[in-house]
Amino acid sequence: MKTLSLLRHAKSGWDDPVARDFDRPLNERGRRAAEAIGVHARRLGLAVDAIVASPAVRVVETLDVFIPVAGLDDVEPHWDRRIYLASSVTLIDCLRDCPVEAQHVLMAGHNPGLEDLILDLVPDNGTSPLRDEVEIKFPTAALATIELDIDDWSSVDSRCGRLVHLCRPRDLDPALGPEED
């Protein structure tokens, strides 16, 4: 069995006048959410062997906050441009390239790809309230953990997982939930 944790980048700043979406930084709320999720991950005892991540600025900045707070300083991220705005199919290809010795991989990236990846990996058998929550939305800075019924990352395929954990920033601090209109 392998374990996959998925971290969506934290809230980014739309007010920042960057030329490319790739270069959009986090906003203050995003930094607070990344820290809160990092604290949560540390309390869970999240221990990963490998981190694979999009090199987009908002993902890099999310991990810059998350990794030390989560206690994962000894794991150097592998930056994979394929993850930037990738589909679920592309994300599965990225996972298939993970080192066989890694038992627990953290993938950090973007929606809709991460949300679709969860929905593809976890069968819709009507018995997973966590999957139902993801189907509604996998918000910024959310962290999900999936147990995969595989022995080698090259075997990752749809419907091979069980969603065992989901945490959204608003679950930790209501002020980090959706903004009111």
Cα dihedral across residues 116, 125, 164, 97: positive or negative: negative
Residue 181 binned pLDDT confidence (cut-offs 50, 70, 90): very low
Return the SS3 of 16.
Answer: coil
Domain ranges of the chain: 2-176
State the Cα–Cα distance between residues 9 and 33, nearest whole angstrom: 10
Confidence of residue 156 (pLDDT cuts 50, 70, 90): very high
- Tally the residues of the chain: 181
Mean pLDDT computed over 63-75: 98
CB 91 within 8 A of CB 109: yes
Q: Tell me the C-alpha distance between 156 and 171, whole Å.
A: 29
Please, what is the Cα angle at 5 between 59 and 85, to 5 degrees? Answer: 40
Q: With 60 as the cut, is the pLDDT of residue 180 above it? A: no
Tell me, what DSSP letter sits at residue 168? -
The residue type found at 118 is I
Contact indicator for 141, 9 with CB cutoff of 8 Å:
yes
- pTM here is 0.95
> How sure is the predictor about 16, in pLDDT bands with cuts at 50, 70 and 90?
low
CA–CA gap between residue 24 and residue 13 (Å, rounded): 6
Q: What percent of the chain has pLDDT over 70?
A: 97
Q: Mean pLDDT over residues 125-147, rounded?
A: 94
Q: For residue range 42-67, what is the model confidence (pLDDT) as tens digits?
A: 999 999 999 999 999 999 999 999 99
Number of H helices, E strands in the chain: 6, 6
State residue 179's pLDDT score: 66
Span between the terminal Cα atoms of the chain, in Å = 44
pLDDT tens sequence across 110-122 = 999 999 999 999 9
Architecture of 2-176 per CATH? 3-Layer(aba) Sandwich (3.40)
